[in-house]
């Protein structure tokens, strides 16, 4: 049987490893890019997997003052599409990171 000191040292080492891996995963998410689309690609939003918006593209055919409400709706839809894709990639990366870690069943990272 291991001593309490050995178990505590192992737990501290595991916590440090998890913290390092989470930092690496978060840094990676900031380099992965997703593209949200709306209106059949007439509006595009480019964002990082962490959700930071990098660029918005609006097709010239939509730049009509009479279509203002439609353009606003399409921009919002493209943002939401990008956010959903970013969330999916983030969840996939966190799942990859937690593989092989001695975590209890159902435990989710980051601690949620």
24 domain-assigned: no
Return the CATH number at 84: 3.30.1310.10
Q: What is the pLDDT of residues 53-109, one digit of tens each?
A: 999 999 999 999 898 999 999 999 999 999 999 999 988 887 877 676 666 666 555
Domain encompassing residue 49:
30-97
Instruction: For residues 52 and 47, give the distance between their C-alpha atoms in angstroms, rounded to a whole number.
Output: 5
Residue 14 lies in a domain: no
Instruction: Supply the pLDDT for residue 39.
Output: 94
Residue 112 has pLDDT above 50, yes or no: no
pLDDT tens across 11-43, in order?
888 788 888 888 887 888 888 899 999 999 999
- Residue 58 falls within a domain, yes or no? yes
In a domain, 92, yes or no: yes
Tell me what pLDDT residue 107 has: 59
Residue 73 lies in a domain: yes
Which residues does 37 contact at the CB level (< 8 Å), separation at least 6?
Answer: 43, 44, 45, 78, 81
User: pTM score, two decimals?
Assistant: 0.64
């Amino acid at each position: 049987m291991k001593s309490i000191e050995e178990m505590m040292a192992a737990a501290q080492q595991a916590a440090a490893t998890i913290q390092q891996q989470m930092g690496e995963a978060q840094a990676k998410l900031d380099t992965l890019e997703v593209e949200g689309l709306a209106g059949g690609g007439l509006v595009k939003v480019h964002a990082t997997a962490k959700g930071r918006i990098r660029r918005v593209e609006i097709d010239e055919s939509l730049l009509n003052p009479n279509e203002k409400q439609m353009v606003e709706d399409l921009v919002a839809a493209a943002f939401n599409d990008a956010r959903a894709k970013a969330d999916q990639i983030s969840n996939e990366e966190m799942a990859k990171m937690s593989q092989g870690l001695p975590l209890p069943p159902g435990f989710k990272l980051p601690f949620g």
